[in-house]
């Protein structure tokens, strides 16, 4: 992919992730016992990018989406929560896709990414409130990470299979077993 095409593709990916983030915020979710539980729809774009783009560009995607999402409504604390969770999630999913693709499935990678997103956010919360008691939320967050991670993982799997069939993107051969 040429440099110009990569820049355009990255811009489109950031716009898609932002659109999913904004749409998700507009969804009326039922009142849950754990504050901050979200579906994580923008992670569909991040996980897709992990198959297509190099790590520096995926990092730009996560940082760019977080900055723009904060501009669309959020403060410093939401920026810190989103950025830390997003980077933790991205890094662990990237490592699993590129280093452990022979023994783990795409939905499982997404679940692990959701767990690490929550861990990153809890770490920021613990630093802000200066107590480890915040980790009492972890069991409920792990349950939500499992459910939302599976949904994001299966959605990403369908998307990547479709993109591969249409030849819109190139996915390296060694990563294709994850799409089987």
pLDDT tens-digit profile of 154-175? 999 999 999 999 988 889 999 9
CA 62 to chain centroid: 8
- CA 171, CA 102: separation in Å to the nearest integer? 16
Q: What percent of the chain has pLDDT over 70?
A: 95
What average pLDDT does the chain have? Answer: 92
41 Cβ contact list (under 8 Å, min separation 6): 20, 21, 23, 24, 152
Residue among 64, 82, 89 at smallest CA distance from 13: 64
pTM, rounded to two decimals:
0.92
Give the chain's domains with CATH numbers: 3-179 (1.10.1760.20)
- CA 112, CA 118: separation in Å to the nearest integer? 10
**Residue 62 confidence (pLDDT) above 90:** yes
pLDDT tens-digit profile of 93-151? 999 999 987 889 999 999 999 999 999 999 999 999 999 888 888 999 999 999 999 99
Q: Which of 26-30, 76-80, 133-137 has the lowest mean pLDDT?
A: 26-30
Reported confidence tier of residue 26, pLDDT bands at 50, 70, 90? confident
- CA 135, CA 67: separation in Å to the nearest integer? 26
CB 43 within 8 A of CB 155: no
Q: What percent of the chain has pLDDT over 90?
A: 74
């Amino acid at each position: 992919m040429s440099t110009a095409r990569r820049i355009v593709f990255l811009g489109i990916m950031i716009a898609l992730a932002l659109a999913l983030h904004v749409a998700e915020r507009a969804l009326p979710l039922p009142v849950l016992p754990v504050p901050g539980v979200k579906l994580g729809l923008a992670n569909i774009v991040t996980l897709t990018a992990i198959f297509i783009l190099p790590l520096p560009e995926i990092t730009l995607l996560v940082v760019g989406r977080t900055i723009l999402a904060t501009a669309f409504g959020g403060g410093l604390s939401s920026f810190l929560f989103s950025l830390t969770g997003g980077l933790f999630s991205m890094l662990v999913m990237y490592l699993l896709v590129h280093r452990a693709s022979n023994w783990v499935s795409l939905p499982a990678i997404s679940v692990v990414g959701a767990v690490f997103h929550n861990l990153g956010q809890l770490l920021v919360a613990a630093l802000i409130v200066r107590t480890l008691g915040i980790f009492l939320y972890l069991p409920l967050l792990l349950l939500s990470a499992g459910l939302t991670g599976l949904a994001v993982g299966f959605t990403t799997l369908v998307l990547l299979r479709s993109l591969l069939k249409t030849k819109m993107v190139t996915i390296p051969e060694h990563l294709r077993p994850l799409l089987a």
